[in-house]
Amino acid sequence: MVTTLLETTADAASTSGWLVMLVQLLSILLIVVVMYFLLIRPQRKRDKETQKMRNSLQVGDEVTTSGGIIGRVVSLREDTVVIETGSDRSKIRVKRWAIQSNETLHDEEA
């Protein structure tokens, strides 16, 4: 009888241990899913929109670089952009990834 009681207690402890481990695993998984939806997914969406903006630049657009330089696009190449700044029409060549925003509004092509 004592042996049966000990076996039952050991089985209950074993089952309880598995449940505790399962709850901990599920809570960690829940944290990862929440982090994905709150941090990773919105950042990827912003990166995709920024890349789309950089790829759709046109000559004549007024842009701002990540360094704060404001200018008008004079020429476009595959990975560089030449912008014209100031009243003395200085030209600066910058990498396309340095363009932070496009201030020119374009009609959306449908």
CATH of the domain at 83: 2.30.30.60
Binning pLDDT at 50, 70 and 90, where does residue 80 land? Answer: very high
The pTM for the full model equals 0.67
Q: Say yes or no: 73 and 50 in one domain.
A: no
Q: Do 64 and 48 belong to one domain?
A: no
Q: Same structural domain for residues 1 and 51?
A: yes
Q: Are residues 5 and 43 in the same domain?
A: yes
* Shared-domain flag, residues 8 and 52: yes
Write the DSSP symbol of residue 98: G
Q: What angle do CA 11, 15, 17 make, to 5 degrees?
A: 115
For residue 76, give its domain range.
Answer: 58-102
Residues 8 and 40 in one domain: yes
Q: What distance, in Å, lies between the first and last C-alpha atoms of the chain?
A: 81
Q: Which of 5, 107, 4, 106 is nearest to 60 (CA)?
A: 106
pLDDT in tens, 1-59: 545 545 555 565 667 788 889 999 999 999 999 999 999 999 999 999 999 999 999 99
Do 2 and 52 share a domain, yes or no?
Answer: yes
Predicted confidence band at 62 (pLDDT cuts at 50, 70, 90)? very high
Which ranges of 2-97 does DSSP label H, i.e. alpha helix?
A: 2-35, 41-55
Where does a domain end: 22, 38, 56?
56
- Residue 55's pLDDT is 93
CA dist 8 and 26 (Å) reads: 27
Is 89 part of a structural domain of the chain? yes
Q: How far is CA 32 from the centre of its chain?
A: 16
Residue 90 above 80 pLDDT? yes
Mean pLDDT (whole number) for 72-86: 94
21 and 63 in a single domain? The answer is no
| Same domain flag for 51 and 65 | no
Beta bridge partners of 63: 71, 102
- In terms of domains, do 52 and 75 share one? no
Task: Say if 40 falls within a structural domain.
Answer: yes
